[in-house]
Structure 1
Amino acid sequence: MKLTYRNTYISIVTILFVAMLFSCEGNLKGVRDMEMPEDAPQAVGMGINLKYIDSGKVVATLKSDKMMDFSNKNFPYREFPEGLEVEFYDENREKNTVTANYGVIYDQTGLIDLQGDVVVITSDSTRLMADQLYWDQASNWVFTDRPNTIRFKNGARNEGQGFDSNQEFSNFRSRSNVGVQIIEEETK
């Protein structure tokens, strides 16, 4: 058989074509990863109105104009860049409300980070205002190192730089603060 440049060229093209054909894999996830920027959320929700129901009762509602789901990351989280409002209902169906200009929920740790004009109003009318507030869902603990003001139901007021408290504010530990405390004397 006589080898010509044409036969050699066709052989080389055929080998390259077959090599390319066998080197391609049907990896849809790989293709999607190439399309999505590394810092992009997995999903974006607009006009969110979620209701958490336990035993047929609404336990909490969450409203937000925008939610970005980053559960595709190594440390998954959900971000609320345009603010959020959460209403919690206790066993007596009394409402507690939390609003903030920005929020992040970290899925693995259960920590919630609220920032910008954070306001918490409890069912007994205790009102907390802070620049930033953290809530540890696992231990039901609320804390901050930022400036905050708390007005209790009895009229007492506390302005401070940081505090730790259980979520009912019955075990409240304030750091440097100034305030008005109302102490009722027991009559005997």
Structure 2
Amino acid sequence: MFFSCNDSFKQVQKIGISENEPIGVEFNSNIKYTDSGRVSANLISAKMLDYSNRDFPFYQFIDGVTLYVYDKENKKSTVVADNAFVYNNTDLIDMQDNVVITTHDNRVLKTDQLFYDQRKEWFSTNKAVSFKTDQDIINGNGFDSNSKFTNAEVLEVTGIITLED
């Protein structure tokens, strides 16, 4: 008879859990992200699935998600989407399906997918976008901007509609 000692806690945690199933489900999530004591983002969702049992752990937010992003002057921009994935190892939030950003100065971006890099405080996508400013509606394929939207740029512009007052 042979015995061995090892740290099998992670294996014990996985007993009875399919690798394709979440390890937990949470309702009415309200998660705040801070940077040097300042709230930089706030994610709110009706339902969260916890896949932290995977090799590349993530959380999936379904049934609607709202992300408030605050710049250093505490100006708030709002991102809403049908779904989101948060990858804690990379500080990346992947918002998907009917994504709409409303900036603190009422510019509006619409797309099907948008990434938010929490470390760099940067938004980006390579999907089709429509970006409404005070003067124009700009359509294109891709978007890049910091969280202040001071350098928002539509990439591969396919059309611009100038608005009249």
TM-score under structure 1 normalisation? 0.72
Q: Which residue of 2 aligns with 1:12?
A: none
Counterpart mapping for 1:1-188 below 5 A: 29-52=10-33, 58-152=39-133, 154-171=134-151, 172-180=153-161
93-102 or 48-57: which moved more? 48-57
Gaps of 5+ in 1: 1-18, 183-188
Query: The residue matched to 1:83 in structure 2 has which SS?
Result: strand
Change in 2 beyond 3 A, CA 1:155/1:134: same
Gapped regions of structure 2 (runs ≥ 5) = none
- The Cα shift of 1:24 comes to 10
**Whole-angstrom CA distance in 2 between matches of 1:174 and 1:116:** 20
In the TM superposition, residue 129 of structure 1 has moved relative to its aligned partner by 0.8
State the alpha-carbon separation in 1 of the partners of residues 162 and 52 from structure 2: 44
TM-score by length of 2: 0.80
What is the identity percentage for the equivalent residue pairs of Structure 1 and Structure 2?
35
| 172-181 or 143-152, larger mean C-alpha shift | 172-181
2 CA distance for matches of 1:56 and 1:28?
A: 34
Query: Greater CA radius of gyration, 1 or 2?
Result: 1
CA distance in 1: counterparts of 2:81 and 2:44, whole angstroms = 11
More strand by share: 2
Cα distance in structure 1, aligned partners of 2:146 and 2:101: 13
Indicate the structure with greater helix content.
1
Q: CA deviation at 1:112?
A: 1.6
The letter for the 2-side match of 1:78 is: Y
Alpha-carbon spacing, 1:176–1:89, altered in 2? closer, same or farther (3 Å): closer
After superposition, give the CA deviation of every residue in 1:137-157 in whole Å (9 maximum; x if it has no partner): 2333322222211111x3222
Secondary structure at the aligned position of 2:63 is classed as coil
Q: Give CA-to-partner distance per residue, 1:84-138, whole Å, 9 cap, x none.
A: 1111233333221110001001122222211111011111111111111112223
CA contact (8 A) 2:139 2:154 kept: no
CA positional deviation for 1:30: 3.7
